[in-house]
Amino acid sequence: MQGEISNAEEFSSATILVRGRVQGVYFRRFTVENARKLGLTGFAQNMSDGSVKVFAEGNRHSIQRLIDFLHIGPAHARVDDLEISWSSFASEFPDFSIKR
């Protein structure tokens, strides 16, 4: 039973707002490709203020790896700031995609 509790604690959700030059530079596609490689589910979405919202669910270590990738971004992006909010794992999404 203790192992089950430990496994449950490893799964989380995170909402990440990425600010900088992150639209029109393939940032969402970059996010989807990396999230899928890490086995995460969720979405990447352009926001009206020029930021990109990323919602990721899965293994907490994998989400942290995605956050590391988001700090860098694709070649033509410039990431100025990440705002990260952690929450409980809800298993809301079947895969990781671009949300329009």
Active site residue ranges: 28, 46
Extended beta strands in the chain, E state: 11-21, 41-46, 52-59, 78-88, 96-99
Residues with Cβ within 8 Å of residue 23, at least 6 apart in sequence: 46, 50, 52
**SS3 assignment, position 35:** helix
For residue 26, which phi and psi values (nearest 5 degrees)? 65, 25
